[in-house]
Amino acid sequence: MTTVLRIVLVAVITPIVFLGITRSDAVARWIVSALVWSALTPLFRITGAFGSEGEENVIFGLLAAVSVLIAIALVWIASTLIIAMTRSGYR
């Protein structure tokens, strides 16, 4: 796979992964838990988040970054498998 194709695939997969993460009830419960909220408090202070809208923006950015990382991992795994299959002669 070429680098351009990998970048395009990451760009296409990222919103799908983001929607999957944000629609998950487990992630929603995890985000509003006291443990995570206290862990994110320094991040809120660093970014200057004020009020619920500022905190939501920080959480949105965090989930978007996680979505990009997951998409990169999925594309890397897929390209590695495709390369291995073509080298072994699998059709």
**CB neighbour list of residue 34: distance below 8 Å, 6 or more residues apart:** none
pLDDT surpasses 80 at 91: no
Calculate ∠ Cα 62-65-66, nearest 5°. 85
Q: What are 25-77's pLDDT values in tens digits?
A: 888 888 888 888 888 888 888 888 878 778 888 888 989 999 999 999 999 99
Can you tell me the distance from the alpha carbon of 64 to that of 70, in angstroms, rounded to the nearest whole number? 10
SS3 48: coil
DSSP 25-39: HHHHHHHTSHHHHHH
Instruction: Pick the more confident residue, 1 or 11.
Output: 11
SS3 89: coil
SS3 90: coil
